[in-house]
Amino acid sequence: MDMDVFRQEGINYQSGIHRFGGSQQIYEKYLKKYPMDPTYSELGRALEENNYEEAFRYAHTLKGIVGNLAFDDLYGALLPLVEALRRNELDELDSMFEAVKKEQIRVCRALTQI
């Protein structure tokens, strides 16, 4: 596993291990599960359907998941999306979700290293 790849793709591996009580084994278990988590795809679906209440719930949930996994860049991309949905400010949602999508792709690419 190449830690430089993780760092380049916005994953703070050492912080993630710390969040999981110092257990590399447990952290990696959850890293491996992340690409199968449906929260990101459900967020995209809710946005496509203009279901902003549901989109907020999924965006907020995803923010918590990626925060715990120390996906720093993806977390940073989610923050403005969550806040826009919270305030019902819908004008920039497409560009905000594109930023989230870009970071999601980077994270999933890095996770293939495990």
Q: What's the whole-number average pLDDT of the chain?
A: 96
Q: At what angle do helices 52-68 and 39-48 cross, to 10 degrees?
A: 160
- pLDDT at residue 2 above 80? no
40, pLDDT greater than 90: yes
Domain-wise residue ranges, the chain = 3-111
Residue range 34-41: mean pLDDT, rounded: 98
Q: Give the fold, CATH level 3, of 3-111.
A: Four Helix Bundle (Hemerythrin (Met), subunit A) (1.20.120)
Q: What is the pLDDT of residue 42?
A: 98
Query: For the ranges 5-14, 74-83, 95-104, which has the lowest average pLDDT?
Result: 5-14
Confidence of residue 114 (pLDDT cuts 50, 70, 90): confident
Q: Do 2 and 113 meet the contact criterion of CB atoms below 8 Å apart? A: yes
Name the pTM for this structure. 0.94
Residue 88 exposure: Cα atoms within 13 Å on the Cβ side: 2
